[in-house]
Amino acid sequence: MNPPPSCALGTLWLIPNTLDHGVDDLSALDRTLPRSAIERSAALTHWVVEDAKSARVFLKRVQALHPLALPLQAMDVRELPKPPKDGRAPADAAAWRALLAPALQGHDIGLLSEAGLPAVADPGSDLVAQAHALGLRVVPLAGPSALTLALAASGLQGQCFAFVGYLPTDAAERTVRVRSLEAQSRRERQTQIAIETPYRNAALMEALVQALHPETRLAVACGLTLTAGWCRALTVARWRHEMPSFEPKGLPAVFLWLAA
């Protein structure tokens, strides 16, 4: 799929989203996103998103601050392929190219995830890779990233760190994984960063304080950029006596640890 010879290529804009999953008031958009990102979002008419419903919520919030280039119902909003399950093959290059077809016809496209920066602890990297393969310009816009905000606020090693994503849900497998990551942290002086779905934050916290060494430093950042957000960093020994409350429920959290 190649553009006509006379057609200027569009740009793939990586649009930051808030970290509140659309539940905070409209002013939160203006508090956490640069004006330039809001204005660019308002100007775009073609989107590739993680979830169409949440993307439309985002665009309504943009509209409250800046007029949209087109009515919301006239926007071209396409969803990213879902991650493969049960051994199914991931989307091939042709599927990614199809999502980028408007850019090959000269239209700019916005890539948006449900929260934070697209393609960082969120889907979208395959689309970005295909944009590069097609010779499209890729422009990331500044905005909140839960991982980097949590790392900065934790006081842990910020020069060497690794994002390990979601940990196993099976208790035995999770313990093995946590202790392996802790050993790597001790060996390389590397901060380990993990996330969990909000309703399982308390369960992961309990698993971490049981599996990690008492002197390992463990930081938890919850609801960052929100009014109710917080970040605390203690030794595991102290956490065992000062377990946090993840209320109100539904706030996303980031877990970071650095072995002594």
Give me the pLDDT at residue 122, please.
86
Q: Are strands 137-140 and 217-222 parallel, antiparallel or unpaired?
A: unpaired
CA-wise closest residue to 104 among 211, 9, 231, 225: 9
Tokens standing for residue 95: 């599927």
226 φ/ψ angles, rounded to the nearest 5 degrees: -90, 160
In order along its 260 residues, the chain shows pLDDT tens digits of 555 544 699 999 999 999 887 666 555 688 889 999 999 999 999 999 999 999 999 999 999 999 999 999 999 999 998 876 655 556 688 889 999 999 999 999 999 999 999 999 888 999 999 999 999 999 999 999 999 999 999 999 999 999 999 999 999 999 999 999 999 999 999 999 999 988 999 999 999 999 999 999 999 999 898 888 899 999 999 999 999 998 877 788 999 999 99
Query: Contact, 157 vs 32, CB < 8 A?
Result: no
Give me the pLDDT at residue 163, please.
97
Give me the pLDDT at residue 121, please.
86
Give me the pLDDT at residue 66, please.
94
Q: What contacts 247, CB < 8 A, 6 or more positions away?
A: none
Q: Are strands 253-258 and 191-196 parallel, antiparallel or unpaired?
A: antiparallel
**pTM score, whole prediction:** 0.86
What is the length of the chain?
Answer: 260
26 φ/ψ angles, rounded to the nearest 5 degrees: -60, -30
H-state helical runs in the chain: 27-32, 35-43, 52-63, 93-99, 101-104, 125-133, 146-154, 171-188, 201-211, 236-239
What is d(CA 253, CA 222) in angstroms, rounded to the nearest whole number?
Answer: 4
Give me the pLDDT at residue 89, please.
57
Domains of the chain with CATH codes = 11-140 (3.40.1010.10), 146-258 (3.30.950.10)
Tokens standing for residue 50: 């993680």
